[in-house]
């Protein structure tokens, strides 16, 4: 069935069809404008696990999301679809997570991989598997980009989007990253894991095509990370405490958004760790931190980004760890829908 026929026969006001794709939409990856790669991976998380279950939990929660978006006309018609969760990736994550936990327990006792054979073996195995995961993501992203799809990624922990960034670097000669996060993620091989979730931006800055990194909402970071921020002119960090202080003193969120956007080039990759939000919105995420944004604050920021004629070339949402009440997944599903719609809007995919 053609996409136009699917649109004509679909009722966006009806209850979602759980047999459909994401949000109950009738589209497949073949006819969707935006294709989401789910990555159920949490090998290097350093506190609470659970984010590997994020993609499937968000999919389940998506059926409860109303499709009307007041800020993007006929948003659902643009077409979103998620690829199936790869069972091999999920199984590898589960297997290696147990080993990584053993390694981290030893690390916390002051032991090192240089002096402990068990740790060295685990470290090598985890680093190799994470490298393979990144290569797999890059390959999957390449497939979709060659089909002229806009590509997004749903984690999993925040280590997962490196391959997508690398794939985009083959298409775009230069782009900036907008990172919404509680953490700077600028650690060099955190806990000895080269592709740690806490090292994603350190690794992203190794991509030659990444011209700048704008970090927003950062409120948990180490001295080494602060030193790197101060030393690297490509990095523009808007700390949560500073943003809050300026608002307390009367500066509007609109003006702050303008300042944030002014640091970004015309083409932007959006990397969204859900712990950038106030932890009441993501209480089960792996490393929640007091402070952070309200849901509408970050939606407004991305809306302003689109109004400024910036192109969102791709994005990721990570660290959604569903609890027993599925609250985190509900927030994640709504965030994913908003970001998808705005991303497609910035790419001129809205035909209304």
Q: Flag whether pLDDT at 190 surpasses 90.
A: no
Distances (CA, A) of 253 to 219, 249, 258, 293: 18, 12, 9, 11
pLDDT of residue 48: 67
Q: What is the pLDDT of residue 162?
A: 97
Domain ranges of the chain: 3-346
Nearest C-alpha neighbor of 81 from the set 157, 30, 43: 30
Name which CATH class applies to 3-346: alpha beta
What's the pLDDT tens digit per position in 223-282? 999 999 999 999 999 999 999 999 999 999 999 999 999 999 999 999 999 999 999 999
Residues 101-114: tens digit of each pLDDT: 898 888 889 999 89
Of 317, 307, 311, 309, nearest to 338 (Cα)?
317
- pLDDT class of 352 with cuts at 50, 70, 90: very low
User: What pLDDT band is residue 47 in, cutting at 50, 70 and 90?
Assistant: low
DSSP string, 163-225: HHHHHHHTT-S-EEEEEE-SB----SSGGG-TT-GGGHHHHHTTSTTEEEEEEEEE-B--HHH
Q: pTM above 0.75?
A: yes
- Mean pLDDT (the chain) is 94
Provide the percentage of residues in the chain whose pLDDT is more than 90.
Answer: 83
pLDDT, mean of residues 181-188? 96
pLDDT of residue 334: 98
């Amino acid at each position: 069935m053609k996409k136009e026929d699917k649109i004509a026969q679909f009722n966006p006001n009806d209850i979602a069809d759980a047999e459909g794709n994401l949000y109950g939409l009738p589209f497949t990856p073949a006819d969707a404008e935006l294709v989401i790669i789910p990555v159920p991976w949490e090998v290097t998380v350093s506190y609470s696990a659970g984010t590997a279950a994020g993609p499937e939990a968000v999919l389940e929660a998506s059926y409860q999301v109303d499709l009307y978006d007041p800020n993007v006309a006929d948003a659902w018609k643009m077409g979103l679809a998620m690829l199936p969760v790869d069972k091999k990736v999920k199984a590898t994550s589960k297997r290696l997570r147990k080993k990584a936990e053993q390694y981290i327990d030893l690390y916390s006792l002051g032991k090192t991989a240089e002096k402990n054979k068990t740790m060295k073996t685990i470290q090598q195995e985890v680093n190799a598997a994470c490298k393979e995961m990144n290569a797999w993501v890059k390959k999957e992203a390449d497939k979709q980009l060659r089909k002229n799809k806009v590509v997004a990624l749903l984690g999993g922990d925040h280590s997962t989007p490196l391959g997508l960034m690398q794939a985009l670097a083959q298409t775009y000669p230069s782009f900036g990253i907008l990172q919404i996060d509680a953490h700077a993620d600028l650690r060099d091989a955190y806990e000895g894991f080269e592709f740690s979730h806490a090292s994603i931006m350190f690794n992203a800055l190794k991509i030659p095509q990444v011209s700048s990194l704008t970090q927003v909402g950062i409120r948990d970071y180490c001295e080494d990370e602060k030193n790197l921020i101060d030393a690297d002119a490509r990095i523009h960090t808007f700390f949560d405490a500073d943003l809050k202080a300026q608002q307390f003193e009367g500066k509007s969120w609109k003006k702050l958004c303008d300042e944030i956007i002014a640091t970004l080039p015309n083409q932007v990759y959006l990397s969204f760790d859900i712990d950038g939000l106030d932890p009441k919105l993501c209480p089960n995420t792996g490393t929640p931190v007091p402070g952070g944004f309200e849901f509408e604050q970050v939606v407004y920021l991305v809306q302003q980004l689109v109004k400024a004629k910036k192109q969102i070339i791709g994005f990721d949402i990570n660290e959604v760890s569903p609890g027993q009440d599925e609250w985190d997944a509900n927030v994640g599903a709504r965030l994913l829908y908003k970001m998808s719609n705005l991303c497609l809007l910035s790419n001129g995919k809205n035909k209304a």
